[in-house]
Amino acid sequence: MSDVQEIAIRVRLREQERVGLAEYERTVGSVATVAALVAWLPTPDSRLVIRGRGAEPVRLETASYGSTFEMLVVLDQRSAAVERAAAVVAALVESVRHEHVEDDVAGVAGELDRLDRSAPRGRSVAERALRSFLEGARADVLARKSTTRLRAAQALVRLAEDAAELTVERVEDALATELTEQPVDLLQDTGLTVVIEPVDGIVDDAAAAAPIDEPKPKDAKKPKDAKKAKDAKKAKDAKKADKKKSDKKQAGKKQDDDKKKSKKSKKAK
């Protein structure tokens, strides 16, 4: 796939009672707000806008079957950075999906603190921006400020409280009569970073691991062989030195004998 297609977020809420109009509007508003937050995360220095041009999704579909309520939000975004940001938010909501803190015990500040502790700890722009966003929203709560950041954070808290399941998808054409979606496979979050799986799937560990050559036994004996050779050379050098001393001693003795013979011959004359 050469170009990143339009990015969509599918939100699934299970075990829902009959959804009334007020609850439906609240859920739709929360999902649309979180979608705007996702689009903002790759550029945290820009102004966060959750309503109006650029923030509204290009398409939103809802469906319900049994006790499950599902929404598909198609963003007006094709950037791979936004796709990664959507994966970061999905990983965060998934990490706290099975936990719940009652509002009357923790309040919004407590929920935001819980989300902040569970947020992916990677160093990507989206991950750092999400943690900073949650910290800032918690500070707004404590300071009793009503900010756009806090409203966006409350929408994220509501999805987490409802145990929402978020999946990231790509859409061929947001304006088509029938949408053609392709799920983006995400590896399980480690708490350090969110990784998007290759399109062809995960590489087999056995195939990816390169064989490690075992050191040959003869290589281990090399130090001993070197020591033996060194000792032999020392012994040979010592033997040569002893031979030289012996030859020198014999030569000196011969000279003394020659001198004695010379003196005797002079006396005889």
Q: What are the tens digits of pLDDT across the range 106-137?
A: 678 888 888 888 888 888 999 999 999 999 99
Residue 66 counted as domain residue: yes
Q: Examine the domain organization and report whether 194 and 221 are in the same domain.
A: no
Q: Examine the domain organization and report whether 174 and 62 are in the same domain.
A: yes
Residue 169 counted as domain residue: yes
Q: What percent of the chain has pLDDT over 70?
A: 59
Q: Examine the domain organization and report whether 174 and 227 are in the same domain.
A: no
Q: Examine the domain organization and report whether 60 and 92 are in the same domain.
A: yes
Question: What pLDDT, on a 0 to 100 scale, did the predictor assign at position 61?
Answer: 87
Q: Examine the domain organization and report whether 24 and 153 are in the same domain.
A: yes
- The burial class, CB within 10 Å (0-12 / 13-18 / 19+), for 254 is exposed
Of the spans 74-83, 106-115, 260-269, which averages the highest pLDDT?
Answer: 74-83
Residue of higher predicted confidence among 268 and 231? 231
Q: Examine the domain organization and report whether 195 and 226 are in the same domain.
A: no
Q: With cut-offs at 50, 70 and 90, classify the pLDDT of residue 52.
A: confident
Residue 141 counted as domain residue: yes
Residue 267 counted as domain residue: yes
The length of the chain is: 269
Residue 206 counted as domain residue: no
* End-of-domain residue from the set 200, 227, 248: 200
Distance from C-alpha of 153 to C-alpha of 111, rounded to nearest angstrom: 10
Q: Could you tell me if 122 and 193 are in contact, meaning their C-beta atoms sit under 8 angstroms apart? A: yes
Residue 210 counted as domain residue: no
pLDDT in tens, 161-201: 888 999 999 888 777 666 666 666 554 443 444 444 443 44
* End-of-domain residue from the set 149, 167, 200: 200
Residue 209 counted as domain residue: no
Residue 1 counted as domain residue: no
Q: Could you tell me if 69 and 164 are in contact, meaning their C-beta atoms sit under 8 angstroms apart? A: no
Q: Examine the domain organization and report whether 100 and 54 are in the same domain.
A: yes
Domain that holds residue 227: 215-269
Q: Examine the domain organization and report whether 127 and 171 are in the same domain.
A: yes
Q: Examine the domain organization and report whether 243 and 176 are in the same domain.
A: no
The answer, yes or no, to whether residue 12 has pLDDT greater than 80, is: yes
Three-class secondary structure of residue 86 per DSSP = helix
Q: How far is CA 14 from the centre of its chain?
A: 30
- The burial class, CB within 10 Å (0-12 / 13-18 / 19+), for 79 is middle
- Side chain identity, residue 9: I
Q: Examine the domain organization and report whether 245 and 164 are in the same domain.
A: no
Q: Examine the domain organization and report whether 28 and 155 are in the same domain.
A: yes
The model carries a pTM of 0.64
Please tell me the total count of domains within the chain: 2
Q: Examine the domain organization and report whether 120 and 235 are in the same domain.
A: no
Dihedral over Cα of 80, 151, 174, 16: its sign: positive
